Amino acid sequence: MKIGIISDTHNRPTGIDGAFKVFEEAGIELIIHCGDWARPETAAYFSNMARAKNIPVKGVLGNNDKEVAAFLALSRPGFELSEGVISLLIGGKDIRVYHGHHQPSLRKLLLEDTDVLCLGHSHKPRYDRIDDKVILNPGSTAFAIPRSKSWRASVAIYDTNAHEAEFAYFAPV
């Protein structure tokens, strides 16, 4: 199964539009969002796009998602949002999703026995392996930290069958 992984959309619909174009071309069957939507309206926009493309979404909230109740109220079958860490079993892989902003929680997750750990927060693409564990940060579709003129929006595509990931870079639409 091909999973699209996205993070740090920060209320920038052009980055979301570009990500969905990448996801459609790649044949994504599920999207994981690693947090920092920034506003509930951004999550609602994302939800509508996913529904139109018939791609389910599972996501977490990040440190910039202050209106927790409003975000969680958007959850429905096919678009599920949670606080903190979520654990998923997809394509035979144990996947944990966390925004990554609380260092003690992150350190604990890095020690857990899981196949894939999906993170956000840093806005920097990351693909590491510790033994057979994949640690993946898709980067951001909104902006670079620190700000950079050479930055390009990015998402990750993880294939559960191959247990491999790749990045897709694009200019926000």
Q: What is the mean pLDDT of residues 77-99?
A: 97
Asked if residues 54 and 31 have their Cβ atoms less than 8 Å apart, the reply is: no
H/E element, 96: strand 93-97
Both tokens assigned to 92: 């035979």
- The domain in which residue 28 lies consists of 2-170
Least confident range of 33-37, 130-134, 157-161: 130-134
Listed in sequence order, the DSSP H helices in the chain are 13-26, 40-53, 68-72, 103-111
- Residue 173: which pLDDT band, with cuts at 50, 70 and 90? low
- pLDDT tier for residue 145 given thresholds of 50, 70 and 90: confident
pTM to 2 decimals? 0.95
Name the more confident of 53 and 145.
53
pLDDT above 90: residue 80: yes
User: What mean pLDDT comes out for the span 142-160?
Assistant: 91
CATH of the domain at 29: 3.60.21.10
Residues 48-71 have pLDDT tens digits of 999 999 999 999 999 999 999 999
The rounded mean pLDDT for the chain is 95
CA distance 125 to 13: 20
Task: Please count the structural domains in the chain.
Answer: 1
In this predicted structure, what is the pLDDT of residue 112? 87
Instruction: Please return the burial class of 123, using the count of CB atoms within 10 Å of its CB with bins 0-12, 13-18 and 19+.
Output: buried
Residue 27: strand, helix, or coil:
coil
Q: Which helix (H) or strand (E) holds 136?
A: strand 133-137
d(CA 22, CA 26): 6
pLDDT value at 159 more than 70:
yes
| pLDDT tens-digit map of 2-23 | 999 999 999 999 999 999 999 9
Alpha carbon 32 to its chain centroid, in Å, reads 5
Strands of the sheet containing 79-82, edge to edge, are 79-82, 57-60, 30-33, 2-6, 153-159, 164-170
Mean pLDDT of 132-161: 93
Residue 150 has pLDDT above 90, yes or no: no
Higher-pLDDT residue of 149, 66:
66
Beta-carbon contacts of residue 7 (< 8 Å; ≥ 6 apart): 33, 34, 35, 36, 62, 99, 119, 120, 121, 137, 138, 139, 140, 141
